[in-house]
Amino acid sequence: MTIKEWKIAEAKAKLSEMVASSVEEPQLLYNRKKPVAAVISIEEYEEFMAFKQTQKKKTMA
């Protein structure tokens, strides 16, 4: 998997392309050469949220 890196201005200009690409692989947003955000598919987001819930339940048990 090759993660695409976008500068904020580039991502702003090509938002549709970035979102479409996020279905295939995560897209990282950079501001002044530092990663500041990631755009992921809804499936990856849902998996992450389920994982977070599982971890939360483990720490509460």
Please report, in tens digits, the pLDDT of each residue of the chain (61 residues total). 789 999 999 999 999 999 999 999 999 999 999 999 999 999 999 999 999 999 988 888 6
**Enclosing domain of residue 17:** 4-60
Give the pLDDT confidence score for residue 56 in this predicted structure: 86
The token duo for 32 is 């002044």
CB 13 within 8 A of CB 36: no
User: What CATH number is attached to the domain comprising 22?
Assistant: 3.40.1620.10
Q: How many other CB atoms are there within 10 angstroms of residue 45's CB atom? A: 12
Give the pLDDT confidence score for residue 2 in this predicted structure: 81
Question: What is the reported pTM?
Answer: 0.81
Token pair 């819930």 is at which residue? 53
| Counted domains in the chain | 1
